[in-house]
Structure 1
C-alpha cells in the first residue's frame, strides 16, 4: 500500500491541536519529532515529549485527495498557512521486514548476547537473550542499557537475589536470571512494560516475578539495578535503601554524565558508596555497595 506524509514544524502550543486535526481528517498515525534545535533528555513521567519547535507528521493513504486534505487542515487550523505543509510520497515497502532488518545480534562484554528471536545465535554456547524489540524501553541499543548489560556480564549475580527496578522490556532481569541469579524480581510503573517483560521471560524460559510498582513486594536483595532517569533515581533513594541488603550492590543508570556527582553524593547519605562509574556518549552508569 502506498502512503503520503503531510508534515510541518509548529510551536509547542500547536503540536497537540495539529495532531488532533490530522487524525480527524483521516491520518492513520501522527508522529512528533525534534527539529535538531532542542533535545529532551528527561521528560516528565507519563508525558509525551514536545519540543519548543516540533515537527508533526501525519501519515495518509496515498489515494486520498491531497488538495482536499490541505483545505480541511487550513479550515481547522487557520493559524498554519497551507504553504507551511510539506507533502512527501512514502515508498511502499515490506515494513515488517524493514523493521526486522534493523535489529541484529549484539554482544555485551565477553559472554552476553542479545539476539532477536527470529535470528540464530552467533555463539550458541554464550549466554543468549532472545528478545523481540517492542514498544517497551530496553532492547540493548541505548547506551544506558548497554552499560548495564556489560556490568552484569562482568559481575554475574551467581546465586544472588536481584531486583530490576524500572524493568522496561525485562532485559536486565532476564540477563541476571540467565547469568545465574537465584531469584529475580522486576517492577515498572507501566502495565505494558510488565506484559512485555513477562512475554520476554517466557520466551527465554526463565522464571521472574514481574509486578507494577504499586503491587511490588520484595525482601532486601543482594543486587538492585535501576535504569531509569536521574530525577526518579534521586527520589527513589529511600526505597532502594530498603530494598538492598547491607553489603549489597546497587547499579544506577539512565542518568546523564553531568548528573553523576550529585547522585553519588545523594546516595552516600543513605549509606551507598557508588565508586564505579562508566560513561558512554553523554550517559553514565554508577555502581557500588551499601555499607
Structure 2
C-alpha cells in the first residue's frame, strides 16, 4: 500500500505526546483515525522511562507541518494527555518513513514472515521476505498489507491458480513478491504512482531474489497513475489483480481495474475501513464483480471479488487461429 512517500527535504515533522502503556498498546498498528487524510501520519509508541513501565510516549511522523486539527485528533487517541501541550518539531533532512519504520517487529501472515531489518532472525517453515525500512510504505506491519498476504496465502491453499497478475499501487513490491512465490510460473506486473516506490520495489526485488522482466516467473515494474500505462493495458486481461490503496482511489478506479480482469477473474482489494466497505463494494458490483470472501483485521477489511462471467451476446469471444472474423449464429453464412 503506497500510503505515503518520502517527504520533501526539510518538510518532515514529529509530534510527541505522553501516554500510558494501556493507551500505547491500544494504538498498536492503528491509524484508522487518520485514514481519510491524503498523507496520514505514522504512529510509533515507545517506553519513555526505564524506571516507570507505565510511562510511554506517542510519536507521530507527519509529511509536512501538522495542522491544528490533526494535532487535536492525535490528542484524542491518548486521553491521558488531553491537557498536555504536545512537543512539535521539524526533523532534519532525513527520510521520514525510514526513521519511523526502524525497529518495527517482524510480521507473520499466512505462510509469509516479513522482516523489517536484515538482522532479524528468519522464521523456520515460512517464506521469509525482507522489506527494510525505506522511503515507501508496505512493509507488512499494517493490517491492510498483512490482510492481503493472509488472503493470498489462503487462496493458494484452497487450490486457486493464476497465470497473469497485476499489483496496482505496489508500494514496496511486497504483495507482488508474495504472489510470485505462490504462483511462480505466473507473469506479473506491479505499478505505483510514485517513481520512488518503483525504485524501492526494484531494490527489494533484488534483495528477495525476485527476477525482474516480462517473462513467466518475473516481475515487471512501471510508474503509473492507477492502471494508466501501456504495459499494464497491453498485458491484460488479468486473472488476478491486487489493489491495496485507499477507499477513494479504489472507487474511482473501479471501472478501469475491472475492465482489466478476465471473466471469472479475481480482484483483491484493501486499504479501506469497515465503514467504507459498502461504498467500495457498490462501485465494483456495478462493474460486474461479486464478493467471494471478506476478511477483517481490526478496522481494515480485505475483500476478494470475482468477475461474473458474461453470457449470451454479451460474452466476448476470442477468434480461433483459422477464423475469418465471422460469428456463426449471428448472421454469418
TM-score (norm 2): 0.60
**Counterpart among 163, 177, 195 of residue 160 in structure 1:** 163
1:140-289 aligned at under 5 Å gives the runs 140-156=140-156, 158-181=161-184, 182-207=186-211, 208-213=219-224, 214-215=228-229, 216-217=231-232, 218-289=235-306
Q: CA deviation at 1:40?
A: 2.5
Q: CA deviation at 1:103?
A: 3.2
Give the conservation status (yes or no) of the 8 Å contact 2:162–2:240.
no
Alpha-carbon RMSD across the aligned residues, in angstroms, is: 3.2
Distance 1:175 1:115 in 2: 14
* Structure 2 unmatched ranges of 5 or more: 1-8, 20-31, 41-62, 72-84, 90-98, 212-218, 309-333
Richer in strand (by share): 1
Distance 2:294 2:88 in 1: 47
Secondary structure (helix, strand or coil) at the match of 2:209 reads coil
1:31-73 Cα shifts (integer Å, max 9, x gaps): 144979x942122379858444355xxxxxxxxxxxxxxxxxx
**Larger RCO: 1 or 2 (CA < 8 Å, sep 6+):** 2
Give the conservation status (yes or no) of the 8 Å contact 1:163–1:224.
yes
* Structure 1 unmatched ranges of 5 or more: 1-22, 56-83, 89-97
**Counterpart among 37, 42, 57 of residue 36 in structure 2:** 42
- The residue number in structure 2 matching 1:132 is 132
Q: Given the superposition, is the C-alpha separation of residues 52 and 114 from structure 1 closer, same or farther in structure 2, using an over 3 Å criterion?
A: same
Q: Given the superposition, is the C-alpha separation of residues 148 and 48 from structure 1 closer, same or farther in structure 2, using an over 3 Å criterion?
A: farther
Give the conservation status (yes or no) of the 8 Å contact 2:104–2:141.
no
Distance 1:277 1:128 in 2: 25
Q: Which moved more, 1:245-254 or 1:257-266?
A: 257-266
TM-score (norm 1): 0.68
